């Protein structure tokens, strides 16, 4: 289904370098999220981790903020301090899962609900621009194009 690109999509599509920068940031977030979740799961504070690494709490904060260059060696050191193992795999970008409705707010932007797919979402605001949506979209959302 075609739709007007969201602001984020427009930025991603604006140039190859922007798309690559975005992928870089996504990977940094992937790593910092994994480390944050490991800290939370193990009940380890940033201070504890800093002590285990022989670094300051500020170092750990900067690391998790993505402010420090997260080298593979640094990540391995942190994983060692957390007594966990980092696993990496490559995959194609996630596709929208089957059965998930792509919704639009009244400004025509795509709304991506998370923790899909068993969570149908209906936005009341869609009715305002109902007439501008393709007939098939109206039917899928409202059961009728009228």
Among 3, 28, 52, 59, binds other proteins (CB under 8 A): 28
Is residue 40 close enough to count as binding other proteins by CB under 8 A? Answer: yes
Residues 83 and 42: their CA atoms lie apart, in Å, by 10
CB of 68 to other proteins, least distance (A): 11
Residues 85-124 that bind other proteins (CB under 8 A): 94, 105-107, 109, 111-116, 119, 121-124
How far apart, in Å, do the first and last CA atoms of the chain sit?
A: 20
Distant-in-sequence, close-in-space partners of 11: CB < 8 Å, separation ≥ 6: 18, 22
Q: What is the dihedral of CA 23, 28, 34, 40, to 10 degrees?
A: -140
Q: Is 133 left (phi over 0), alpha (psi -120 to 50) or beta?
A: beta
Is residue 33 close enough to count as binding other proteins by CB under 8 A? Answer: yes
CB of 62 to other proteins, least distance (A): 8
Its sign, for the CA torsion 14, 92, 34, 85, is negative
Among 67, 108, 117, 134, binds other proteins (CB under 8 A): 67
- Which residues sit at the interface with other proteins, rule CB under 8 A? 7-8, 11-12, 18, 21-22, 25-26, 28-29, 32-33, 35-37, 40, 61, 64-67, 94, 105-107, 109, 111-116, 119, 121-125, 127-128
């Amino acid at each position: 289904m075609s739709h007007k690109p969201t602001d984020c999509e427009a930025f991603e599509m604006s140039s190859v370098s922007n798309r690559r920068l975005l992928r870089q940031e996504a990977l940094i977030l992937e790593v910092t999220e994994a480390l944050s979740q490991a800290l939370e799961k193990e009940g380890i504070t940033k201070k504890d981790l800093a002590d285990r690494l022989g670094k300051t709490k500020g170092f750990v904060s900067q690391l998790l903020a993505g402010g420090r260059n997260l080298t593979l060696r640094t990540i391995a050191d942190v994983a060692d301090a957390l007594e966990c193992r980092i696993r990496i795999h490559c995959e194609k970008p996630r596709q929208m899962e089957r059965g998930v409705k792509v919704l639009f707010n009244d400004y025509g932007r795509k709304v991506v609900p998370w923790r899909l797919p068993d969570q149908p979402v209906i936005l009341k605001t869609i009715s305002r621009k109902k007439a501008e949506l393709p007939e098939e979209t109206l039917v899928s959302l409202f059961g009728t194009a009228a």
